[in-house]
Amino acid sequence: MADIFHLSTFLHRPMYDQAGDRIGRVQDLVARLGDEPHPPIVGAVIRIEGRDLFVPIRKIGGLAEGRVTFQGRRVDLRRFERRPGELLLGEDLRARHLINLVRGRLIVAHEIEIAEVSGRWEVVGVNTGGRRKLRRLLGASANGSETTSTVVDFAQIEPFVSHVPTARLRIPYRKLAKLHPAQIADMVEQASHEEGEELIEAVGLDRELEADVFEELDTTHQLEFLENRSDADAARLLARMEPDNAADLISEIEQERRVPILEQLPENQQVRVRNLLSYNADTAGGLMNLDYVAVGEAATVADALSAIRRSSAPTESLHTVFVLDAMGQPVGACPIANLVRARESELALNVARTQLTHVHAHWDLHRVARTMSDFNLTVLPVLDEDHGQMVGVVTVDDLLEVLLPQGWRREFGMSAVEE
């Protein structure tokens, strides 16, 4: 069992030699990032006669007693130079944004917690300055105090390193990939531009995840992170986004870039996006998704479920399977719950709603919302003016996104930096 100590206990404290004479002052502690959940402290930066020098941890004693002593024979007088993978705990972590990988939130490290574990000093947590009682990560009190605060285990933390002059330090994609795209987008919106770029660069290793994150960003940040990309790179990103989201973003891009980006989209995506751009953004047509699942009148429940499994439509569109007649006209809508409960041999049409509630592409969003709310629907078909063909579907998640005001997450504290 080991006591937890605060970084501030050691910063700017004097360092003494073994004879008890003061030889310098502790400027910072140095930790090495790697795959270990608690980074080891490898040494300290000591200021001696105006020079910042590095002293390895094996030559430092007295940390547990709060008195820093030099236990070597001589001090290396070469100026301190940070090596790849090293972090200065005070300069790089304290009072800066960090990523809480469990909650998918940004936090501010008001204090860094360290401890000696099995003879090795490690970074074990960060203190975010909350109101809950200090948790003893390793079973003992923090310097014996009863301080009230919120401590997060460093194993759950990932620091931003855009300000750290060591190119090898980067946020690992594998850690971010465990978060929902909306959580990553919230962090990007709350971070500085440089930190946001760092997050986007990390998720960019997975093109699909990058597109998902972009879909969750507000328009201001989407444009911010597209500004310095080439038209080809922007088109590559939009090609992986859902057509309705890609169309929304293209409509916001500066006029002179729209056509060049559109022309570099894959043909299938380009046709879909151009089709959606022909509708007013504040109508069902501007909001609808062109991908949905449909089967014929002779299809069984088993056929409908198989169609869902094969479909590449967004998950939100799969909540309902539509039944079309021989002319392609919709005659029923099967909620997925009805299909799961029914016998596989039964006709899908028999478990479908045949009084088909629908909207038209020119209907405004408030009329769409009323229709969806009145009939308790999560997927709403959009029909052409002759009621003969389906042209797309509106899903409840897309509707909520456009009806909620810009910045609503921040207004309700859902994406605020945790203090």
Give the tens place of pLDDT for each residue, 334-388.
999 999 999 999 999 999 999 889 999 999 999 999 999 999 999 999 999 888 8
Q: Residue 184: which of 147, 133, 225, 155 has the closest Cα?
A: 225
pLDDT at 149: 59
C-beta of residue 188 within 8 angstroms of C-beta of residue 217: yes
Give the tens place of pLDDT for each residue, 269-317.
999 999 999 999 889 999 999 999 999 999 999 999 999 999 989 899 9
As a whole number of angstroms, the distance between CA 372 and CA 385 comes to: 19
In the chain, where are the structural domains located? 2-159, 173-281, 293-397
pTM listed for this prediction? 0.76
Q: Measure the CA angle with vertex 222, ends 217 and 224; round to 5°.
A: 130
Residues paired with 44 in a beta bridge:
29, 55
291 φ, ψ to 5°? -100, 130
Residue 138: pLDDT band (50, 70, 90) is: very low
User: Is the alpha carbon torsion for 374, 377, 378, 379 positive or negative?
Assistant: negative
pLDDT at 93: 87
CATH class for the domain made up of 293-397: alpha beta
List of residues 6+ apart from 211 with CB closer than 8 A = 237, 240, 241
Give the tens place of pLDDT for each residue, 392-406.
999 998 898 888 776
Q: Residue 117: which of 158, 155, 88, 161 has the closest Cα?
A: 155
From residue 338, how far is each of 35, 97, 141, 324, 392 by CA, in Å? 47, 47, 56, 17, 22
Of the candidate CATH numbers 3.30.499.10, 3.30.70.890, 1.25.60.10, 1.10.10.60, the domain formed by 173-281 belongs to 1.25.60.10
C-beta of residue 348 within 8 angstroms of C-beta of residue 303: yes
- Six token digits for residue 255: 């006029």
